[in-house]
Amino acid sequence: MPDVTGRLAGKTAIVTGAARGLGESIARLFAAEGARVVVADIRAAAGRRVAVALGSHGYFVEHDVTDEASWHNVVRQSSEVFGRPGVLINNAGIGHRAAVLELARTDLERVLAVNLVGPILGMKVAGADMRAAGRGSIVNISSLAGMAGVFPVIAYSASKWGLRGATKAAAIELGRYGVRVNSLHPGGIVTPMSGAASRPLLEPPEPGREDADPELARLDGLRTYQPIRRVGRPIEIARAALFLASDESSYCSGTELVADGGRLAGFDLEREPTA
Ligand code: NAD
């Protein structure tokens, strides 16, 4: 029986990179909000585990975002199993630590392939399907590194700035077909990519209370330079993605939602040297 409650009730959502980290958290929240979620990832075992945890709201498809044929496969399977996808979360991504003077070309191309070419292929293939349906919402997970330059991750920064630009170009193109495209810019979230927790972290810490997990408490303690003095939890990005994916953001397209603990807000002269 289709769900009639929840902020994504009746929608089919494809979430790439949903086998762990932010993607897993997004998949879990979306399913809880009534969506049928296609968990799409190159990590088959972990991806299947996430899909199984979602019960009748989850389905795993092995998917490599760099491969256009794989995109056709994931969109086709989504339609067959759950119905036409109305939401695409381009979340899959890889990091790479290298500054411009030490960057290998193969690494540059690999990062751009996953973080930029992949989401653009997704917008092309899923966007065509959404155009036919006359509606859809695409959320591209960029980064704080797509809003500011970040050293020493030159390829990663370039890929995330590129994705921010591609979001706007696609928003202009697809708006006439009822498809919205927005970018989401997390900063400093505890996931396997950031070398921390491997679990989905479904709640942020309560204000004023120390986290019981010593590793998280340690990471929180390092963040004294930003307005919200702790690292972000995956659920805090999942909630922002939920807003952009759902009809609640019906007048937002081509926009950027930053969720970075206030890191990009500006300068704190009490904590930084002044001229
Ligand atoms: P993660 O490494 O924990 O998870 C990424 C997932 O993407 C993995 O399951 C991986 O298997 C999958 N993936 C990698 N290459 C793929 C491919 N070619 N095709 C399909 N799936 C593939 O990372 P995360 O921290 O959860 O990051 C998710 C997204 O959020 C990324 O785009 C990342 O750049 C972005 N982001 C993360 C942070 C952070 O602090 N964690 C901050 C800003 C932006």
146 close to ligand 1 (CB < 6 Angstrom): no
What residue type is assigned to position 4 of the chain?
A: V
49 close to ligand 1 (CB < 6 Angstrom): no
Tens digits of per-residue pLDDT, 26-79? 999 999 999 999 999 999 999 999 999 999 999 999 999 999 999 999 999 999
Start-to-end Cα distance in the chain: 64
Residues with active-site annotation? 156
Mean pLDDT of the region 204-220:
78
What residue type is assigned to position 46 of the chain?
A: A
41 close to ligand 1 (CB < 6 Angstrom): yes
Mean pLDDT of the region 167-177:
98
Q: Is 268's pLDDT higher than 60?
A: yes
Compute the distance from residue 50 Cα to the ligand 1 centre, in Å.
Answer: 15
Q: Is 1's pLDDT higher than 80?
A: no
For a mutational test of ligand 1's pocket, the pick from 66, 193, 228, 263, i.e. the residue with the most ligand atoms closer than 8 A to its C-beta, is 193
Compute the distance from residue 17 Cα to the ligand 1 centre, in Å.
Answer: 6
pLDDT of residue 201: 76
Q: Report if pTM > 0.75.
A: yes
Tens digits of per-residue pLDDT, 77-132? 999 999 999 999 999 999 999 999 999 999 999 999 999 999 999 999 999 999 99
pLDDT of residue 210: 60
Compute the distance from residue 34 Cα to the ligand 1 centre, in Å.
Answer: 24
Q: Mean pLDDT in the chain?
A: 94
From CA 60, how far away is CA 65, in angstroms rounded? 14
Evaluate whether 264 touches 258 at the Cβ level (below 8 Å). yes
31 close to ligand 1 (CB < 6 Angstrom): no
Please name the residue whose Cα sits nearest to atom 23 of ligand 1: 193
194 close to ligand 1 (CB < 6 Angstrom): yes
From CA 143, how far away is CA 187, in angstroms rounded? 6
Per-position DSSP letters for 74-111, written without gaps between them: HHHHHHHHT-SEEEEEE-------B-GGG--HHHHHHH
For a mutational test of ligand 1's pocket, the pick from 14, 22, 49, 139, i.e. the residue with the most ligand atoms closer than 8 A to its C-beta, is 22
Atom of ligand 1 nearest to the CA of 231: 40
38 close to ligand 1 (CB < 6 Angstrom): no
122: nearest Cα among 38, 14, 19: 14
192 close to ligand 1 (CB < 6 Angstrom): yes
Compute the distance from residue 80 Cα to the ligand 1 centre, in Å.
Answer: 26
Compute the distance from residue 221 Cα to the ligand 1 centre, in Å.
Answer: 24
Q: Is 247's pLDDT higher than 90?
A: yes
